[in-house]
Amino acid sequence: MSEVISVSLRRGHHFSKTPSLSIRLLAGLGVDGDAHMGETVKHRSRVRKDPTQPNLRQVHLIHTELFDELRDKGFEVKPGDLGENITTSDIDLLALPTGTRLHIGASAVVEVTGLRNPCIQLDTFQEGLMAATLDRDAAGNLIRKAGVMSVVLAGGDVRPGDIIKVERPASPHRPLLPV
């Protein structure tokens, strides 16, 4: 059963987020009190390019299985360290199609918009971490493993232990691309 392992937020623009007992998702905005909350883009490099872009990165989700994989490679990473708002378990986030809706807890719903594109800040956190979150498939295509981004469709409180129900969009499915 897919569930929430941890929730995190941080008011200022920092790489890591602080684990919390709960977070409140606000429809069309993101995580209440988080630096990336808003209708328009909040990521600093994207704001410099065009501050009027829609915010497709309101909520960042990472699967806890990535932490296990990174631990096996010698990295020490725990929930919130990579800047995610929601750490999940038993859900293959990277295999979801664009537009998948995740029903979290009693009322929250997020729609997956795309992949997080790992950046060099990962190496500032721990040397070599960026490369460890990238891979290649059998055809040589780049695989980004640093989680998915989403927007909030329906608000609500999210806590560790909350169940996540997956609602896939109608076919044909579009693969996730970096946002």
% of the chain beyond a pLDDT of 70 = 100
pLDDT, position 46: 84
Q: What is the pLDDT of residue 5?
A: 98
Helix (H, G, I), strand (E, B) or coil at 166: strand
pLDDT tens track for 51-86: 999 999 999 999 999 999 999 999 999 999 999 999
- Rounded to two decimals, the pTM is 0.96
Give the residues across from 12 on adjacent strands: none
Tokens of 3: 């569930």
pLDDT at 19: 98
- Return the pLDDT at 21: 98
- The model's pLDDT over 37-46, given as tens digits with 9 standing for 90+, comes to 999 999 888 8
Q: Judge contact between 100 and 112, C-beta under 8 A.
A: yes
Q: How many CA atoms within 13 Å lie on the side-chain side of 29?
A: 12
Residue with tokens 């750490």: 87
pLDDT over 90 at 87, yes or no: yes
Q: Give the pLDDT of residue 45.
A: 82
Cα–Cα distance measured from residue 84 to residue 78, given in angstroms and rounded to the nearest whole number? 10
Average pLDDT, whole number, for the chain? 96
- H/E stretch holding 130 reads helix 129-132
> Average pLDDT of 14-21?
96
pLDDT value of position 179: 94
Q: How far is CA 96 from CA 92, 93, 117, 164, 168, in A?
A: 7, 5, 16, 13, 8
CA–CA separation, 94 and 142 (whole Å): 12
Residues in the chain: 179
Closest CA to 108 of 86, 92, 90: 86
Domains and CATH numbers, the chain: 3-167 (2.40.33.20)
Per-residue pLDDT at 91 exceeds 90: yes
Q: How confident is the model at residue 119 (pLDDT cuts 50, 70, 90)?
A: confident
Task: Evaluate whether 98 touches 175 at the Cβ level (below 8 Å).
Answer: yes
Write the CA distances from 159 to 5, 85, 86, integer angstroms: 8, 11, 9
